[in-house]
Amino acid sequence: MKISVLGAGNAGCAIAADLASRNHDVTLIKTSKSMHEDNFDYLEKSNGAISMLEDGEVSHVNITKVTRDVSAVSGSDVIIIYIQTNYHEDLIKRICPFLKNGQIVLMNPGYLSTAYMLEHMGDKDIVIAEAESSFIDCRISEPGSINVAFRNVRNPIGIYPVEKADYAKEKLEKLGFPFTYVSSVVEAALHNPNLIIHTVGAVMSIPRIEKTGGDYCMYYEVFTPSVWNILERLDGEKMDVLEHLGFSRVPYVEACKFRNSLDDSRDAKEVFFWYASMPTCVKGPIVVDSRYITEDVSQGLVMLESLGTQLNIKTPICTALIEMASAALGRDMREGGRTPDRLGKDNVKRILDNCGRGLSPSKS
């Protein structure tokens, strides 16, 4: 298939290379000049040559095309957006003029950016998908080289509109990743693990970040019993919102186990700490002003808090983390954060109506 990957950071490059290794016609599109310029310059000069180090073995592949021209999406069957969700709406505005009927736009992850697609794509017949989390944990080690730390064994995806689910599944299964499907892009958005793990982990390790410059493994070192209590309280608030919207109360650790292990008999919390203690665990974040807070607080927690407000559901831990992150960075994380108003209440209503849910206030 013809696939465009928008975003030439760590995961975007890894996904593009992985898809190219499966003989797909892949176009990797760099959407900004903010990061990884040396890597992209290398790819441009080397005909898309990229290597992947995984489990001690190195593979080499050439990405079909690398470019900065977003109009290249027009010829693709599937378009995968792999940039920080803070920048989704601006990118969606840029690509919508070039989208064609029948294409699938997959956001990885999305944080409900389906609403922005509905706002800007007009009457085009586009199928939208949102993934819970990145399919591959990885880092660019040097220009043209990717170190792969871990691959999800299952990748939950939500599809809009739900009546196009069979069409989308037929196309997406050809990508070669182990997909599973949740009932809605809303469910996928709220089960983004970074909403829970990045926000609690980064806020609670601010001194560690600043003292070490990121020379520590957040997943392994920060989640002591007391911090884990905070995580579970925040997770409970997320599940309260999910339940009121008509979705199942799936805890963070159960969703983590589902993505990371095929052994359903394992204890879910044990799976998390097994994953966290892997020798390939990525270090960091290296600064407090990182996507762990600037993205996952403003786009994740602000969205959760605002949905809770709409539903008359209290989210005190969520609110406290937003306030702490705002104080630490000296700016309001709600400024530019995701709310039903910014996503467009009519867009959110269309999404919820499509999966048979609603945004009526809680009676409790």
pLDDT category at 363 given cuts 50, 70, 90 is low
Residue 361 has pLDDT above 80, yes or no: no
Q: Name the percent of the chain lying above pLDDT 70.
A: 99
Where are the domains positioned within the chain?
2-189, 193-354
Structure pTM?
0.95
- Which residues have a Cβ under 8 Å from the Cβ of 181 and sit 6 or more positions away? 156, 157, 158, 159, 165, 169
The CATH number assigned to the domain with range 2-189 reads 3.40.50.720
Q: CA-CA distances (angstroms) from residue 254 to 45, 87, 151, 194, 320?
A: 44, 29, 17, 14, 25
Q: Given this model, what pLDDT does residue 359 score?
A: 73
Per-residue pLDDT at 280: 81
Distance CA 156, CA 131 (A): 6
Domain 193-354 belongs in CATH node 1.10.1040.10: yes
What is the model's pLDDT at position 356? 86
pLDDT digits (tens, 9 = 90+) for 255-286: 999 999 999 999 999 999 999 998 887 788 99
135-144 per-position pLDDT tens digit: 999 999 999 9
Stretch 15-43: mean pLDDT, rounded?
A: 95
